[in-house]
Amino acid sequence: METIVKRIETVYLPVQNPAASAEWYRHNLKLAHAAPIEPNATQAQLLVGSGQSLFLIKSKEPIHANFTEIGGEEQCMLTLEVEQFQELHERLSKDGVMVTKIEDHEGCGENFYVYDPDGNKLDIWSGWPKEREG
């Protein structure tokens, strides 16, 4: 079956303070702001290196996008493949950002989880191992 969907353009995450959250994403994950963000903004658009975007939308009440899967584990709804994976984990840990330990999934690469100020859990992924890419 042929798909008509070309790619995921935008992901929306609920936040309480879009300006403050956008600054957290800029500082910690080096995501660029798509436009200046006013202090009382109701949304902020961040650019991902692949041309996609991440919108931080002010929610009515404190909420995050995590959910509990059937096995009882907390699951996130977003995986970000990053450059300088090990260095990023070290820097975030030193800066006091809530991160988990690195997990090695062998043929699927390594990952860790990070939580933004609103509790949104993000999967930070190393990418496919070099031997698999070839």
Here the CATH number for the domain that contains residue 56 is: 3.10.180.10
Query: How far is Cα 89 from Cα 70, in angstroms, rounded to an integer?
Result: 28
> Which helix (H) or strand (E) segment is 33 a member of?
strand 32-33
Beta strands in 42-109 (DSSP E): 43-47, 53-58, 67-68, 74-75, 79-81, 103-104
Residue 73: predicted pLDDT: 95
What is the reported pLDDT for 131?
A: 59
Note whether residue 119 is domain-resident: yes
Whether 83 is in a domain gets the answer: yes
Is 1 domain-assigned?
no
Q: Per-block average pLDDT, block size 10, for the chain (134 residues)?
A: 91 97 97 94 93 96 96 96 96 96 91 97 93 53
**CA-closest candidate to residue 117, choices 103, 87, 96:** 96
Residue 4 lies in a domain: no
Q: Which residues pair with 15 in a beta bridge?
A: 58
Q: What integer pLDDT is reported at residue 49 of this predicted model?
A: 84
For residue 93, give both structure tokens. 């840990």
Domain that includes residue 112, residue range:
10-133
**Residue 37 falls inside a structural domain:** yes
Pairing outcome for strands 32-33 and 67-68: unpaired
* Cα separation, 14 vs 101, whole angstroms: 25
Q: How far apart are CA 102 and CA 82, in angstroms?
A: 14
The total of structural domains in the chain comes to 1
Q: What's the pLDDT score for residue 133?
A: 52
The pTM assigned to this predicted structure is: 0.90
Task: Report how far apart, in Å, the C-alpha atoms of 98 and of each of 4, 13, 92, 115 are.
Answer: 38, 18, 8, 6
Do the domain assignments include residue 2? no
pLDDT for residue 1: 83
